[in-house]
């Protein structure tokens, strides 16, 4: 069975200040976290250094995006090399806001994943369908296509966590039911088995994201193929995030 992982996306374009981040870190540093769960915090770029300098080594750091290739003259972008310099171990790629607000395409996201992996960062590879795609019965098609773009680009799955985040569930309070999430997670695992390998299918962590909170995480975590969570809003509150971490074992 894959290990368990819970990721706090602690702040985005609208959430997070030096003060709120500092409170969150002190809550996480004093929280009792189950030892066999990998815990990662993904603050906005501008707070990564603050987090790295004050958070316990028990918790790893992720960025929320990275440049597609070697760092260079790409004003406003943040390179993988810079993230490593700050002590990041992970990067979140293909988040729905990168896809649907900024317009990043599957192939571009696949290239980002391949570059980050080649430099030794772990990749949290996000995928997920829009509400209209779900309603049109295209959930699996969309998720498989997004997954294939990663598969086509990466040489190995050793350092990848798949995050299934249905877009209609992100930041909406409309969490997927445990059955809805499990149905997609099993399908993704089958896709990996049929298109990559049985070993990758059984080892790769597939985590769920979209309105996870301290009240719904344990029911979701009971499902066989849900290996953890990517948490947005509820990760802004340290004690609630700790509850979510401790619900996945």
Enzyme catalytic residues: 95, 165
Contact flag: residue 231 with ligand PEP (CB under 6 A): yes
Nearest-approach distance from CB 72 to ligand PEP, in angstroms: 29
Q: How far apart are CA 152 and CA 107, in angstroms?
A: 9
Q: Which is nearer to ligand PEP, 139 or 216 (CB)?
A: 216
Contact flag: residue 113 with ligand PEP (CB under 6 A): no
Question: Applying CB under 6 A, which of residues 43, 94, 210, 238 lies at the interface with ligand PEP?
Answer: 210
Question: Applying CB under 6 A, which of residues 209, 220, 225, 241 lies at the interface with ligand PEP?
Answer: 209
115-174 residues in contact with ligand PEP (CB under 6 A) are 165, 170-171
Helix residue ranges, H only, the chain: 18-30, 45-54, 80-86, 96-97, 106-118, 131-135, 139-153, 178-195, 198-203, 217-221, 238-246
Nearest-approach distance from CB 62 to ligand PEP, in angstroms: 12
C-alpha distances in angstroms, 111 versus 17, 98, 106?
Answer: 31, 14, 9
Contact flag: residue 215 with ligand PEP (CB under 6 A): no
The residue ranges that bind ligand PEP (CB under 6 A) are 9, 165, 170-171, 209-212, 230-234
């Amino acid at each position: 069975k894959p290990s368990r992982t819970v990721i706090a996306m602690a702040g985005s374009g609208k959430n997070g200040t030096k003060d709120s981040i500092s409170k969150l870190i002190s809550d996480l540093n004093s929280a009792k976290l189950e030892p066999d769960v990998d815990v990662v915090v993904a603050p906005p770029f501008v707070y990564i250094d603050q987090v790295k300098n004050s958070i316990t080594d028990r918790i790893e750091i992720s960025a929320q995006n990275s440049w597609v290739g070697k760092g260079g003259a790409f004003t406003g972008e943040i390179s993988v090399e810079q993230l490593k310099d700050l002590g990041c171990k992970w990067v979140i790629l293909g988040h729905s806001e990168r896809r649907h607000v900024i317009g990043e395409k599957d192939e571009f996201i696949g290239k980002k994943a391949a570059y980050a992996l080649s430099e030794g960062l772990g990749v949290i590879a996000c995928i997920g369908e829009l509400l209209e795609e779900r309603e049109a019965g295209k959930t699996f098609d969309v998720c498989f296509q997004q997954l294939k773009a990663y598969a086509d680009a990466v040489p190995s799955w050793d350092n990848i966590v798949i995050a299934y985040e249905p877009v209609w569930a992100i930041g909406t309070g409309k969490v997927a039911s445990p059955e809805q999430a499990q149905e997609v997670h099993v399908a993704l695992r089958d896709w990996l088995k049929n298109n990559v390998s049985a070993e990758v299918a059984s080892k790769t962590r597939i985590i769920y994201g979209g309105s996870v909170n301290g009240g719904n995480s344990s029911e979701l975590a009971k499902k066989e193929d849900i290996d953890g969570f990517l948490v947005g809003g509820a990760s802004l509150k340290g004690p609630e995030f700790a509850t979510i971490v401790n619900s996945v074992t």
